[in-house]
Structure 1
Amino acid sequence: MVTLRDVAGHAGVSVSVVSRVLNSDPSIRIRPETRQRVLESARLLRYAPNSAGRSLRRSRTHLLALVVPDVTNATFTDLVNGVESRALDHNYSVVLASSPRMQPGSDGFTRLLSERLVDGVLLQKGDEAPTELVARALSHPERTVLINSGPVSGVATIAIDDVAAGALATRHLLDLGHTSIGYVGGVPTSDTSDRRRSGVEQTLATAGLALAREHTTALGYTYRSARDAARLLLSRQPAPTAVVVGNVNAGIGVLTEATQMGIGVPGELSVVAIHDIWPAITCAPALTTIRLPMEVLGATAVDVLLAGLETSDPGGNGRNGADTTSRVIDDPTPELVLRASTGPPPGA
């Protein structure tokens, strides 16, 4: 392995000069041609810095952990891409975790920060866990950013505009002529479902309508729970002519159950789901969705976390930590992706 001493010998300078040049020390005073000779020697010898030693000296691992409820869930793909891309821009790598043993309060989660395995954690909590309880279980809230959760006191939170997403889905159905619109939501403890339902309710109210209690469910975002929710909702009379589904996986479940019940989509029922993933295109009919800025969400969360790490004390104990302001990603805004599962109400 090429060392600083090798580069110094090749460039004809001291090891100290090489170290300061390669670390962009602004206080070093050398001739431009000497600096260029050092850089050229490092390039020719293919010198790579010892990141492990540098991390020890700076009390940094240059690792971040992204903890999500389920790595197999396609709704997290763009989030992961956004986190990884922005982390790499700052010379950080990302560890991805999703098991129950890695949730806040668990030994595995606590070890991440307490034993300095990573510099910080980006956490997308599970819908079943109340945000306040999760926040109290955090071992190092100053080095944690909650994604799409909160707001919660004392912890940085970054979220997408779920209210706008629910509103956009509802406006689309109203524009098609629907006046009987339902909502298939997540579990009662889901922050995102509450906000998306609020967008539905606000938009209906603006049109002089209301979200009927019998036209709402709160069984969860999974494919199976959504099928149960659809059967329950569509068996009631009168049934809605359109539904906003709080999650695309659940939206696929609603489409499946409607087909099993002999209900034509979009002839008898229009379905629009929040989130956009590639399986939505493969449904029959293809599912109309609301695309969310998940990559921007991930990148912004990394920015907030790293800014907090930079302002923490040199020992890495994070006395300052990330800005605990709750932020909402409103640029770009949610986007309607029009496909075949929505149309005018029956008889229109």
Structure 2
Amino acid sequence: MSATLSDVAARAGVSISAASRVLSRAPSTRVRPETRDRIETAARDLGYRPNFAGRALKLARSDVLAMIVPDLTNPLNSELLRGVDEAATQNDYLMLLGRSEDVGGAMIGRLIGEGRVDGILLQTGDDTRPEDVRELLGQRAPVIFINSVEAGHAGSVTLPNAAAAAVATRHLLQLGHTKIALVGGLPSVFTSADRESGYRAAMADAEVAVRGPWLTRLGYTAEQGRRGLRRLWRLKRRPTGVVVGNLNAAIGVLAEARAIGVAVPDELSVVALHDAWTAEQTAPALTCVRMPMYDLGRTGVELLLDKLRGTDVGNVMINSEPELVVRHSTAPAADRDFVTSKE
């Protein structure tokens, strides 16, 4: 037979209400540290397990948060999810994972409607429909956006996207490159404009002209990266360096470079935003700008918990300097200009 709350209270020598407040971590609980220790020790010794279903009904909360991302298999999410999980665990919350393509589905609405989820961290994808996001925001559970901002919505945490793109661009400039392209994300994606602004700012600071044809805005997948390089290599005047707005797209750039016979880094230096174990496995290994993904996850949970407590939250940018990780895909600019015979 499982231990009851009254068993715990009797073992600790306290009232049932005191044991309940301590074990439910009620914010209003005021007990001496030694009393709290006695209650928690008694609960462990007896193997007491709270009735979470009853507690959820009584407190109108489940102590469960949901993290919704575009791709659960994306290696870029590993540090993000580690930060989310650690912050949630330290605050006695469980995390559920879901895909952003399910935002408009019945399952997410059911979890919220039945009170199974207290709040949501949402990282939208390229194909997330705005109407589905608006419907989600109309639900009872508060939402914090991860690396994006929703107009009129208070509550988001973003990466230093512009600063990261500037770090990547300055790296190529310091290697002597002045013919620098940008393979960016879709124009509709929040991070795309931010990262392009960082690229443009670094080029302007170096008094280097930005050539319109050297900017592509096709997306962050490997296939979209491949398309970006194909477009650049059809031009009469080609770049000698390229900043890629996402690691997955950069892997596509390298694959396309091999397919069409472009030597990296001898003919083209490639630097990507984001870093993961996959960057070290490419040929050549990719130079990257590491983003503070762990901090992004932790801060997202902290903002969500503040919102659940009724605290006003705003839009926060992680104040951590992006880190350049130099590998083998970048090299000093060759003393030549790649010009084809194409018109």
TM-score normalised over the length of structure 1: 0.88
Q: Which runs of 5+ in 2 are unaligned?
A: 337-343
For 1:90-105, what aligned pairs fall within 5 Å after superposition? Answer: 90-98=91-99, 100=101, 102-103=102-103, 105=104
2:88 is matched with 87
Total equivalences in the alignment? 334
Aligned equivalent of 2:339:
none
Contact 2:112–2:141, Cα closer than 8 Å, also in 1: no
C-alpha distance in 2 between matches for 1:14 and 1:136: 45
Are the aligned partners of 1:129 and 1:189 in contact in 2 as well (CA < 8 Å)? no
Q: Paired residue for 1:225?
A: 224
1:202-217 equivalences in 2 (<5 Å)? 202-217=201-216
Aligned residue in 2 for 1:333 = 321
Match in the other structure for 1:166: 165
Report the Cα distance in structure 1 between the residues aligned to 2:312 and 2:112, rounded to whole angstroms.
Answer: 14
User: Residue 196 of structure 1 aligns with which residue?
Assistant: 195
Percent identity at matched positions? 44
Q: Deviations over 1:137-161 (max 9, x none)?
A: 5223870011111252123111001
Looking at structure 2, the residues matched to 115 and 24 of structure 1 have their Cα atoms a distance apart, in angstroms, of 23
Give the whole-Å Cα distance in 2 for the aligned partners of 1:85 and 1:29: 27
For 1:91, the aligned partner's letter is: D
Match for residue 66 of structure 2? 65
CA contact (8 A) 1:131 1:149 kept: no
Distance in 2, matches of 1:224 and 1:34, equals: 60
CA–CA distance in structure 2, aligned partners of residues 226 and 42 of structure 1 = 55
C-alpha distance in 2 between matches for 1:223 and 1:35: 53
Q: Distance in 2 between matches of 1:37 and 1:256?
A: 61
Q: Contact 2:69–2:98 (CA<8 Å) still a contact in 1?
A: yes
Is the partner of 1:74 in helix, strand or coil? coil
CA drift of 1:20 comes to: 4.4
**1:29/1:295 CA distance change after superposition, 3 Å:** closer
Equivalent in the alignment of 2:133: 134
Structure 2 counterpart SS, 1:134: helix
User: Is the Cα–Cα contact under 8 Å of residues 61 and 116 in structure 2 kept in the other structure?
Assistant: no
Deviation at 1:79, TM superposition (A): 1.2
Provide closer, same or farther for how the CA distance between residues 46 and 212 of structure 1 changes in structure 2, counting only shifts above 3 A: same
Change (3 A) 1:37 1:127: closer
* Deviates further, 286-295 or 188-197: 188-197
TM-score (norm 2): 0.89
* Equivalent position of 1:43 in the other structure: 44
Q: Is the 8 A contact 2:100 2:122 kept in 1?
A: no
Offset of 1:133 from its aligned partner? 7.8
Q: What is the RMSD computed on CA atoms of the aligned residues? A: 2.5
In structure 2, how many angstroms separate the alpha carbons of the residues matched to 1:22 and 1:246? 47
2:129 & 2:317 partners in 1: Cα distance? Answer: 19
Match of 1:314 in 2: none
- Pair 1:57–1:176, CA change in 2 (3 A): same
> Is the contact between residue 162 and residue 199 of structure 1 (CA under 8 Å) also seen in structure 2?
yes
Check 1:213–1:24 CA distance in 2 against 1; reply closer, same or farther (3 A cut): closer
User: How far has the Cα of 1:127 moved from its partner?
Assistant: 2.3
Counterpart of 1:2?
3
| 1:186 CA displacement | 1.2
Residue aligning to 1:237: 236
Question: How far did residue 53 of structure 1 move?
Answer: 2.1
Distance 1:305 1:322, change over 3 A: farther
- What letter is aligned with 1:108? M
The CA deviation string for residues 294-330 of structure 1, in whole angstroms up to 9 with x for no partner, is 110111011111111011xxxxxxxxx752x211111
Check conservation: 1:142, 1:155, Cα contact below 8 A. no
Contact 1:141-1:155 within 8 A present in 2 as well: no
CA–CA separation in structure 2 for the residues paired with 1:82 and 1:131: 27
Distance 1:231 1:95, change over 3 A: same
Counterpart AA for 2:240 = T
Which has the larger displacement, 6-15 or 193-202? 6-15
Provide closer, same or farther for how the CA distance between residues 112 and 171 of structure 1 changes in structure 2, counting only shifts above 3 A: same
